[in-house]
Amino acid sequence: KSRVMLCIWQANLTKPWVDNNPSSDISLSKMNYELSPPILCMTNCPTLIVTVGLPARGKTYISKKLTRYLNWIGVPTREFNVGQYRRECVKIYKSFEFFRPDNEEGLKIRQQCASAALNDVRQYLADEGGQVAVFDATNTTRERRQTITAFAEQNGFKVFFVESVCEDPVVIAENIVVSVHSDFCPDYMNCNTEEAMEDFKKRIECYENSYETLDEVWDRHLSYIKIIDVGRRYLVNQVQDHIQSRIVYYLMNIHITPRSIYLCRHGESDLNVKGCIGGDSGLSPRGREFAKYLGKFIESQDISDLKVWTSQMKRTIQTAEAVSVPYEQWKALNEIDAGVCEEMMYEEIQQHYPLEFALRDQDKYRYRYPKGESYEDLVQRLEPVIMELERQENVLVICHQAVMRCLLAYFLDKTAEELPYLKCPLHTVLKLTPVAYGCKVESIFLNVDAVNTHRDRPEVGISTKTHRNVVAPVINIIRNISLTNDGAALVLFNRLGCHGFTVRCVLIPRL
């Protein structure tokens, strides 16, 4: 007789319930878990992004967009705006005189505010699990940048500078208008627009004489991207790792050209009417009616150079055919894969897969359908779509409920917990218009009734969390396996949060 020794490991991916040492014995008792761990795009060590540039050059715009993007893809990121620290310290702003280089008291206060912000950066990156901090300030002198670099080296952080240089008077004037708006800058809450703009221009002059731009020779040892005239030209130097590469790629795709992005789901489908999820059915009669109304709506908008994107599924393609614009199919826009639950009603899922149903309610964002996807997986799949949307101008995206939620969460800066519950009803168009530091949303219902596919967040009381135990499936597989001649066999299975465990059974002679 012989006995079977079971070893379980997973290459390249670290799982909290699997020993990192593949040579060690692994206890099956460790394999109880609730949900897949978050897919965090972790950097090797925390990164400090430092903006550089005169006022009204779009630094805060860049900081906010970059923070939103990194959080959306799973990199914990926070913005630290030194101007906010200064406003908390100096409650009443008087004039540009505060920023004069010969104003010793003002200079001292600004240095204290920068130090306070850096202390908070240290706490966030070292103690709170942050991976990227965006230090949003002018940082226009080499002395200030050397201080920040020394701070980062002392704490083991990488530094990446983002400089925005702009000499276009039209762009600068537009940025000044945004900068002095009371909604964005409390400094000018009690001033009229002309007074505020005049004071802000003098504030810029206070920085101009001491401004030292990042230099290709002098600063050749630094990692940075220099954005010239809002993307007309870029200079990239000493990129250190994948996270900085992604930052560079993102910043080279964004633009400030006025545009609108239209998001809508396909028309009501036959499976929607039946209350089933997933599948690849065609449109219902009401869905076809919506498609016609959508075509008329888009025509009435008189949108120049409109691009239309769909998924590769029948219901989005049939919806797009009613719009008199050529459309492009994206596989990345396909609906979330529900795996074994495809074309099932929620009631059927609850009946046949009660454990899966309960687990999904615990953490809808990270839950992965058996043989399917999670919302977290979907976000990773949609990153190229976001990049291309940032490059484009006017686009109509005809997609699906889960996909639309992910796209909407990016533009509206929603958290992973909020994302799966965003309301995206059928037969409704959302018009997104990027504005200074956010996105304006208009909801247009096209007066065609449809079923309601939204499922509210479940009420969660005080209860014991459900666990999925993967020991039983492993044992079942082992009982039914027939070993090969060399005494070994490999079994590959996929469960929640596991991209694929390899189970190796080795036949060992009994002594």
Residues in the chain: 511
* pLDDT score of 478 more than 60: no
Q: Which of 251, 286, 303 is the last residue of a domain?
A: 251
The 10s digit of each residue's pLDDT in 150-184 is: 999 999 999 999 999 999 999 999 999 888 875 66
- The count of other CB atoms within 10 Å of the CB of residue 167 is 9
Select from 36, 10, 33 the least CA-distant residue to 21: 10
Sign for the CA dihedral angle at 427, 433, 434, 439 comes to: negative
Residues 108 and 145 in one domain: yes
Q: Looking at the domain assignment, is residue 65 inside a domain?
A: yes
pLDDT value of position 186:
76
Select from 254, 247, 250, 220 the least CA-distant residue to 43: 247
How sure is the predictor about 433, in pLDDT bands with cuts at 50, 70 and 90?
Answer: very high
Q: Looking at the domain assignment, is residue 455 inside a domain?
A: no
The 10s digit of each residue's pLDDT in 120-132 is: 999 999 999 999 9
Residues 166 and 222 in one domain: yes
How sure is the predictor about 40, in pLDDT bands with cuts at 50, 70 and 90?
Answer: low
Q: What average pLDDT does range 264-283 have in this prediction?
A: 98
CATH code of residue 102:
3.40.50.300
Residues 114 and 141 in one domain: yes
Residues 241 and 377 in one domain: no
* pLDDT score of 23 more than 60: no
Residues contacting 129, CB < 8 A, separation 6+:
76
Residues 98 and 60 in one domain: yes
Q: Which of 193, 216, 251 is the last residue of a domain?
A: 251
Residues 430 and 480 in one domain: no
143 is in an annotated binding site: no
Q: What average pLDDT does range 204-225 have in this prediction?
A: 95
Tokens (6 digits) for 444: 């247009």
Residues 6 and 117 in one domain: no
Residues 244 and 265 in one domain: no
21 is in an annotated binding site: no
Q: Within 13 Å of residue 111, how many CA atoms lie on the same side as its CB? A: 11
pLDDT value of position 324:
86
Residues 283 and 226 in one domain: no
The 10s digit of each residue's pLDDT in 43-92 is: 469 999 999 999 999 999 999 999 999 999 999 999 999 999 998 888 77
Residues 359 and 243 in one domain: no
Q: Looking at 305-374, list the stretches that DSSP marks H as alpha helix, in order from N- to C-terminal side.
A: 314-320, 346-352, 354-362
Q: Looking at the domain assignment, is residue 458 inside a domain?
A: no
* pLDDT score of 403 more than 90: yes
* pLDDT score of 117 more than 70: yes
Q: Looking at the domain assignment, is residue 454 inside a domain?
A: no
pLDDT value of position 34:
41
Q: Looking at the domain assignment, is residue 209 inside a domain?
A: yes
Q: Which of 251, 284, 317 is the last residue of a domain?
A: 251
Q: Looking at the domain assignment, is residue 99 inside a domain?
A: yes
Angle between helices 59-72 and 401-412 (to 10 degrees): 150
pLDDT value of position 192:
83
265 is in an annotated binding site: yes
pLDDT value of position 472:
34
422 is in an annotated binding site: no
Q: Within 13 Å of residue 411, how many CA atoms lie on the same side as its CB? A: 26
How sure is the predictor about 466, in pLDDT bands with cuts at 50, 70 and 90?
Answer: low
The 10s digit of each residue's pLDDT in 347-377 is: 999 999 999 999 999 999 999 999 999 999 9
Mean pLDDT computed over every residue of the chain: 85
Residues 303 and 327 in one domain: yes
Residues with catalytic roles: 266, 335
Asked if 184 contacts 248 with a C-beta cutoff of 8 angstroms, the reply is no
- The count of other CB atoms within 10 Å of the CB of residue 239 is 16
266 is in an annotated binding site: yes
pLDDT value of position 94:
77
461 is in an annotated binding site: no
Q: Kindly tell me the number of DSSP H helices and DSSP E strands found in the chain.
A: 15, 17
Q: What average pLDDT does range 195-213 have in this prediction?
A: 93
Tokens 């993967």 belong to which residue?
A: 470
**Looking at the 3D structure of the chain, how many domains does it have?**
3
71 is in an annotated binding site: no
Tokens (6 digits) for 393: 């101008």
SS3 158: strand
Q: Looking at the domain assignment, is residue 450 inside a domain?
A: no
CATH code of residue 312:
3.40.50.1240
**Which domain does 483 fall in, by range?**
2-34+467-509
Q: Looking at the domain assignment, is residue 131 inside a domain?
A: yes
Residues 27 and 69 in one domain: no
